[in-house]
């Protein structure tokens, strides 16, 4: 081998050795613990409990992922991407989303529910209902009809006075199938109750009567789905809290 070739080969070998011996970034063990805990929590909430992550392999995978993120982050900063206005805007949005998620999780952890509340929520989520309805062109007409009901007119008689094609529908449905406005209006009704205020829908004003209630025959027993029911009930309560917070800050909450 010629001296120049030998020198070139030695340089390449040294470079490769230096690359191979480069030390991966140190990751704070607390960060690793936090990420492992998040993954295990998600696994606990999964319906499929047959494939749980192996603890040792999971931890090593998390370390590798965090080291990879650190290397790529450092390269981005070297290029000055952290100073790019568009990158900063995206980072601020992601930061806001992160803290919003953390606040939502905190609210859920702080929310306490009683066994009675859980069973009531379960009954609401698994019930099927029949609705009767009457529609009017104006809100004033709907309120006038309510006065007639208070004076003794039956809802069936009111339907005969104000017929429409939709009244022919006479099947059980799940409340979750209803539009947001109707679902909210009938959520607290018991069998035989009529909505207290007219419901604005598609340019008309409706009164609804909850005419029949039965349990969904396909619903699983409460004892088998208790954890899922508790999680969904807490999430619903948290959504209501957040809606009130948004309203207090001048924001109209979206329909859920």
Tens of pLDDT, residues 170-222: 899 998 888 888 988 898 899 999 998 999 998 999 999 999 999 999 899 99
Q: Of 2 and 161, which is predicted with more confidence?
A: 161
Mean pLDDT over each residue of the chain, to the nearest integer: 88
Q: What residue ranges define each of the domains in the chain, with the CATH number in brackets? A: 127-215 (3.10.50.40)
Integer CA distances (angstroms), 117 to 40, 54, 122, 125, 229, in order: 28, 37, 9, 12, 10
Nearest to 157 by CA among 165, 166, 148, 147: 148
Whether residue 122 contacts residue 222, with contact meaning beta carbons closer than 8 Å, is answered with yes
How many whole angstroms separate alpha carbon 245 and alpha carbon 243? 5
Quote the pLDDT of residue 48: 61
Quote the pLDDT of residue 30: 96
pLDDT at 250 over 50: yes
- Please, what sign has the CA dihedral across residues 163, 164, 168, 173? negative
pLDDT at 19 over 60: no
> Which tokens belong to 25?
């970034």
pLDDT at 12 over 80: no
Quote the pLDDT of residue 198: 94
Whether residue 157 contacts residue 145, with contact meaning beta carbons closer than 8 Å, is answered with no
pLDDT at 160 over 60: yes
Tens of pLDDT, residues 118-139: 999 998 889 999 999 999 999 9
Query: What percent of the chain is predicted at pLDDT more than 90?
Result: 72
């Amino acid at each position: 081998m010629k001296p120049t070739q030998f020198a070139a080969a030695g340089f390449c070998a040294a470079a490769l050795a230096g690359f191979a011996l480069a030390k991966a970034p140190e990751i704070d063990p607390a960060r690793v613990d936090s990420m492992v805990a998040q993954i295990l929590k998600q696994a606990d909430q999964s319906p499929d409990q047959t494939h749980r992550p192996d603890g040792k392999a999971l931890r090593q995978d998390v370390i590798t992922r965090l080291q990879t993120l650190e290397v790529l982050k450092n390269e981005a900063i070297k290029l000055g991407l952290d100073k790019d206005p568009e990158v900063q805007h995206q980072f601020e949005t992601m930061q806001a989303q992160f803290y919003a998620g953390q606040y939502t999780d905190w609210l859920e952890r702080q929310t306490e529910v009683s066994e009675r509340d859980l069973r009531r929520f379960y009954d609401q989520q698994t019930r099927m209902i029949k609705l009767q309805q009457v529609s009017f062109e104006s809100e004033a007409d709907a309120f006038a009809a309510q006065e007639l009901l208070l004076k003794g007119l039956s809802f069936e008689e009111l339907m005969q006075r104000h017929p429409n094609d939709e009244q022919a529908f006479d099947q059980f449905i799940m409340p979750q199938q209803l539009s947001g406005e109707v679902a909210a209006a009938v959520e607290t009704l018991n069998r035989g109750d009529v909505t207290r205020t007219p419901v604005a829908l598609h340019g008309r004003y409706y009164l609804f009567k909850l005419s029949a209630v039965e349990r969904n025959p396909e619903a699983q027993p409460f004892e088998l789905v208790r954890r899922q029911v508790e999680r969904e009930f807490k999430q619903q309560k948290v959504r209501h809290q957040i809606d009130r917070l948004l309203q207090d800050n001048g924001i109209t909450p979206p329909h859920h």
